[in-house]
Amino acid sequence: MTPAVLVGVDGSPQSTAAAHWAAEEALLRGAPLRLVHAWPWLTDGVASFAEPDDLPAAAQRVLGAAADEIRERHPGLVVHTDAVLDAPVDGLLSAAADAALLVLGSRGLGGFTGLLLGSVGMAAAARSAVPVVVVREPGAVGGAGDGGPEVLVGVDAHAPEEEVLAFAFQEAALRGARLRAVHGWDLPPVFGYAGGAVPAGEIAQLEALETKLLSLALAGQRERHPDTVVVEDVRLGAARGLVEASAGAALVVVGRRHRSVEFGPRLGRVAHAVLHHAQAPVAVVPHG
């Protein structure tokens, strides 16, 4: 059976947007959609506390409203609902263990208006064993640039990760979209130590080398996906390049290394910056 696409719902506009994005993704994959509401007390935000007998009903109201809306828009989609009596992050990650991916809204009912990404989305993206997609705003189901739909993937051409590239190529193929591979690079520290302007000829030589490395990094996946149009995009600054290119994209894909320890940061600076600032849904793919 095709693994389900799982989405966390809590009744917020952001989670509703995530549910609609996840429904579209499930249809593309030919997969069922699983709506999950996880909360220690399973309340719906109306009251601080609820009687034990009311907790399942509160969860079912949230799930039922989301499922009805999804089924009305996508009558052929198989939709399952589950309530999990657990903290949001732990409950969602546990439920998503066998899923194809986990989809979340950028902020939930507990978020502050000024925050671009809520604590649940950040923690899930940092810890999940499956890819996590964060949908930024209500109605954000992916866009299309002037040349048609485009999926972006951030590539470290010096240490490419096949899991991340394979996911990005798959997403582009599902949508019939162009894949833009963005490799951001920085000037070697020696130029900063020297001070002054960097000669244009030096930059051109370095950029030519980075472009060659990107082509080599993509070669294997391009052979596996010969019908996918690939645009190689080499820019100064990894995170900035992805954020700038994200306007109008259907999806931005970045990687996140598995960590064997429970302390310290789990998201790299590029994934962190893109999650906060990209103008499209962001997929964080674990690797390594």
CATH number at residue 164: 3.40.50.12370
- The verdict on 190 and 262 lying in the same domain is yes
- The verdict on 129 and 196 lying in the same domain is no
- The verdict on 131 and 194 lying in the same domain is no
Answer yes or no: is 143 within a domain. Answer: no
Mean pLDDT to the nearest integer, 27-46: 79
Where among 107, 135, 163 does a domain terminate? 135
- The verdict on 120 and 20 lying in the same domain is yes
pLDDT, position 196: 54
pLDDT, position 71: 96
Instruction: Please state, in angstroms and rounded to a whole number, the distance separating the CA atoms of residues 282 and 90.
Output: 21
- The verdict on 193 and 258 lying in the same domain is yes
**pLDDT, tens digit, 9 for 90 and up, residues 38-73:** 876 554 444 444 555 555 677 888 899 999 999 999
**pLDDT, tens digit, 9 for 90 and up, residues 124-141:** 999 999 999 999 765 444
pLDDT, position 186: 76
pLDDT, position 254: 96
- The verdict on 127 and 246 lying in the same domain is no
**pLDDT, tens digit, 9 for 90 and up, residues 202-256:** 778 888 999 999 999 999 999 999 999 999 999 987 788 889 889 889 999 999 9
Answer yes or no: is 32 within a domain. Answer: yes
pLDDT-derived band of residue 24, with 50, 70 and 90 as boundaries?
Answer: very high
Phi-psi region of 11 (alpha: psi -120 to 50; beta: other; left: phi over 0): left
pLDDT, position 47: 45
- The verdict on 13 and 125 lying in the same domain is yes
- The verdict on 44 and 99 lying in the same domain is yes
Where among 74, 109, 135 does a domain terminate? 135
- The verdict on 198 and 242 lying in the same domain is yes
Number of structural domains the chain divides into: 2
- The verdict on 183 and 224 lying in the same domain is yes
Nearest C-alpha neighbor of 123 from the set 96, 149, 147, 150: 96
Where among 135, 167, 182 does a domain terminate? 135
Answer yes or no: is 228 within a domain. Answer: yes
Answer yes or no: is 96 within a domain. Answer: yes
**pLDDT, tens digit, 9 for 90 and up, residues 77-86:** 999 999 888 8
Which residue segment(s) compose the domain that 269 sits in?
150-287
Answer yes or no: is 13 within a domain. Answer: yes
- Is pLDDT of 263 > 50? no
- The verdict on 157 and 274 lying in the same domain is yes
pLDDT, position 180: 97
Q: Give the domain CATH number at 80.
A: 3.40.50.620
Lowest mean pLDDT among 82-86, 192-196, 266-270, 274-278: 192-196
pTM: 0.87
- The verdict on 155 and 281 lying in the same domain is yes
Answer yes or no: is 145 within a domain. Answer: no
Answer yes or no: is 275 within a domain. Answer: yes
Answer yes or no: is 142 within a domain. Answer: no
Instruction: Please state, in angstroms and rounded to a whole number, the distance separating the CA atoms of residues 219 and 60.
Output: 48
**pLDDT, tens digit, 9 for 90 and up, residues 166-187:** 999 999 999 999 999 999 887 7
